[in-house]
């Protein structure tokens, strides 16, 4: 997985390369998921082994994986549509906008039939943040946006720690106050943590006697293979050392992507909501490591650090570190007049 990331981000123009890879992946996964659910339910729909409740999985391995797919798809196609809207009269721009709107409709359809509350909430939060960043106020106050997003996240985290607001909100909305049994899983796995400092070892917690002990302590919880919390999953496998390293990386990556607010607001309008969604999503699901959300964040963090491209309107300005400024418009040959 990480080799794939390196192949993409070492492209001479990493941002268009990332966009192409993500677009093709979403075309395949979202389109195939809707096809399987609608016309091949024996493959696109599974059933809970305890309750018999149908779960829409599409071309993924579970309903949460499907939720993550349409979360990423909704964010990407919404962002790409906003960025390409000035090009709507050109043939290429019109073609891509039609594709974007089509897959936004597919995303909406999957969102309506899937029951992943975490993905729905994160998609709404990401799109609202995107609109704020791209607004005239956001463009003229990049410092306020950058600091405001971080402060708001810290405040929500403190409120959650002190007052457990997620449980309160779930109860008000008629959802399970235990977050569909997640709080019970968290209590069970914390009791089975073998080494608070270093954890059980990389990807080693869900093995052997520990896994059996967790299953026995959960009523109807046999088969659980994750903590349903990305930070807790890191703690179980890598201990406090792993959690500290993760926090340092997330702080560093936020500083890196937030700098794009003054250099390329178009890139920042996706990278910052993506970072925010990653932080929030991992409270109720484990998406650090083997997930498209984590991979996409690494794509953008790595590409932003080495890319000299600045998108302004429909034109990409590629700035060389040494040499003249090269102006390049999508679909047009390179112009080195400047």
Enumerate the domain spans of the chain.
2-307, 308-338
What's the token pair of residue 117?
């509350």
How far, in Å, CA of 295 to CA of 290, rounded? 8
Asked whether the beta carbons of 90 and 38 are under 8 A apart, the reply is no
Question: Quick one: pLDDT at residue 290?
Answer: 76
Asked whether the beta carbons of 148 and 155 are under 8 A apart, the reply is no
What's the token pair of residue 80?
């790409």
User: How does pLDDT run along the chain (338 residues), one tens digit per residue?
Assistant: 778 778 887 888 888 888 898 999 999 999 999 999 999 999 998 887 767 778 888 898 888 888 889 999 999 999 999 988 888 888 888 999 999 999 999 999 988 888 778 888 899 999 999 999 999 999 999 999 999 998 988 888 887 777 676 666 656 555 555 556 677 888 888 888 888 999 888 888 888 888 888 888 776 555 677 888 889 999 999 999 999 999 999 999 999 999 888 888 888 999 999 999 999 999 888 888 878 899 889 888 887 655 545 444 444 444 444 444 344 444 444 444 43
Strands 45-47 and 54-56, by their bridges, are antiparallel
Question: Quick one: pLDDT at residue 211?
Answer: 83
Greatest distance between any 2 Cα atoms in the chain: 71
SS3 content of the chain, % helix, strand, coil (to 5): 65, 5, 30
Strand partners, 88: none
CB atoms within 10 A of CB 138: 20
Strand partners, 55: 46
Question: Quick one: pLDDT at residue 72?
Answer: 93
pTM given for the model: 0.83
How far, in Å, CA of 55 to CA of 63, rounded? 6
Strand partners, 312: 315
Backbone phi and psi for residue 226, each to the nearest 5 degrees, phi listed first: -155, 160
């Amino acid at each position: 997985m990480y080799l794939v990331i390196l192949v993409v981000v070492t492209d001479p123009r990493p941002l268009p390369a990332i966009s192409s890879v993500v677009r093709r992946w979403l075309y395949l996964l979202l389109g195939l998921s809707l096809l399987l659910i609608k016309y091949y339910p024996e493959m696109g729909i599974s059933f809970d082994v305890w309750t018999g409740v149908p779960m829409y999985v599409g071309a993924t391995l579970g309903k949460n994986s499907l939720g993550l797919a349409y979360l990423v798809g909704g964010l990407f196609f919404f962002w790409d549509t906003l960025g390409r809207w000035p090009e709507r009269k050109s043939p290429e721009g019109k073609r891509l906008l039609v594709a974007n709107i089509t897959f936004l409709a597919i995303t909406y359809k999957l969102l309506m039939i899937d029951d992943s509350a975490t993905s729905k909430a994160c998609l709404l939060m990401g799109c609202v943040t995107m609109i704020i960043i791209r607004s005239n106020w956001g463009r003229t106050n990049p410092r306020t946006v950058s600091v405001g997003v971080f402060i708001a996240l810290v405040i929500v985290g403190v409120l959650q720690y002190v007052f457990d607001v997620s449980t309160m909100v779930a109860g008000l909305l008629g959802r399970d106050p235990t977050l569909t049994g997640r709080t019970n899983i968290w209590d069970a796995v914390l009791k089975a943590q073998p080494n608070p400092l270093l954890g059980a070892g990389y990807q080693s917690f869900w093995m052997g006697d520990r896994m059996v002990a967790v299953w026995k302590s959960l009523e109807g919880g046999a088969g659980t293979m994750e903590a349903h919390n990305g930070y807790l999953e890191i703690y179980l496998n890598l201990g406090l050392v792993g959690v500290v390293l993760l926090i340092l990386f997330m702080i560093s990556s936020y500083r890196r992507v937030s700098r794009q607010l003054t250099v390329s607001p178009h890139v920042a309008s996706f990278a910052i909501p993506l970072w925010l969604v990653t932080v929030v999503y991992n409270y109720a699901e484990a998406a650090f490591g083997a997930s498209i959300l984590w991979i996409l964040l690494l794509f953008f963090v790595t590409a932003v650090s080495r890319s000299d491209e600045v998108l302004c309107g429909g034109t990409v300005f590629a700035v060389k570190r040494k040499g003249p400024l090269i102006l390049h418009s999508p679909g047009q040959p390179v112009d080195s007049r400047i």
